[in-house]
Amino acid sequence: MQFSRLDPNRQAGQRLMIGFNGTTLDDELKYAIDTLNVGGLILFSRNIQSPDQIQELCAAAQAYTVRCGNPPLFVAIDQEGGVVARLKPPFTQFAGNPSMKYTTDARHFAHVTARELERVGVNMNMAPVLDVAPTLGPSIMAQRVFGSDPLWVAQMGTTVIEHLQAAGIMAVGKHFPGIGRTVMDSHEELPDLDIDAQTLSQSDLIPFRAAIESGVCGIMLSHIRYGRLDARWPASLSVTIVQDLLRATLGYDGLVLTDDLDMGAIAKHYALPDIIRQCLYAAVDIILICHAGPKIAAAYEQIVHHMHKSEALALKNDACLARIQKAKAKFLDKKIP
């Protein structure tokens, strides 16, 4: 489907990826698809009962999306293995990134995970974690990272990316430009990280550069404020970090996603109109809101409002939609009837 054929309101919805409460295509989910025209869904434990149920849910949502005249949905999940794995038995369980000692471990994880996701209709994995934990000192990411050597993290991360995507599952590297040095949980509060651009470049950015070279489909932004790069806005809302660092300096032209905007780092400190405005000015492609509620519809209305109000934002929106369309054409068009 050509996105240019969609009216502006439908285009606005393509910028949203949302969480929801049910395990079936219920009225809540239908409203998100037929009225808000959302471009993506993300699954959590609350949406999961069994492999057959997930497959039926994903197939029903995709079929309804097509009937509504919208492009196919991104259907995402956090399936890193270890402490962050939404799919429980009978899906294969992995010990997690810190336990992986060889690239063959990463390759096996990617092969098995891709096969199991594809079977139930999930097409995007919010993995791999590309953060680097410091050798000395605590890290909020200690149980989720591949390690403290940026080159090793890069090697393991790119192995996961290449094998997930070769099997048709979009990979999303996270959390740009790196949160391994933080100790505060951004689910609860807004961490500040006092680090200069050169130190980032020589360490934390190394896995992201490698991921970009490997053609990673998406990169998720962190909810960390890097004061020496942008004293006001966290990475997920920062024009400087998205446009200057990720796009211009690193040359990335794939999908850029926020982390969940319901997290305390964002929700406790910024009003929704400011959040959406900043995402649009930064040309963040996909705005992620993981909990059902009025915030999703309000975010949609804010996107529509800004698209009609600002020619500059309308042009940025065109670029975002082009990236979304490119990813959907590559990974989804042949899978959705």
**Which position among 26, 185, 187, 196 bears the catalytic label?**
187
Beta bridge partners of 211: none
- Based on its alpha-carbon atoms, the radius of gyration of the chain, rounded to whole angstroms, reads 19
Residue 244: φ, ψ to 5°: -80, -50
187 given a catalytic annotation: yes
Find, among 235, 208, 79, the residue nearest to 131 by Cα.
208
Round to whole Å and give the CA distance between 327 and 329.
5
- Give yes or no: 108 in active site: no
In angstroms, the Cα distances linking 13 to 40, 162, 292, 323 are: 9, 29, 15, 15
- Looking at 105, 204, 230, 259, which residue is catalytic? 259
Burial class (CB in 10 A: 0-12, 13-18, 19+), 81: buried
Angle separating helix axes 51-67 and 103-120, nearest 10 degrees: 60
Catalytic residue numbers read 187, 259
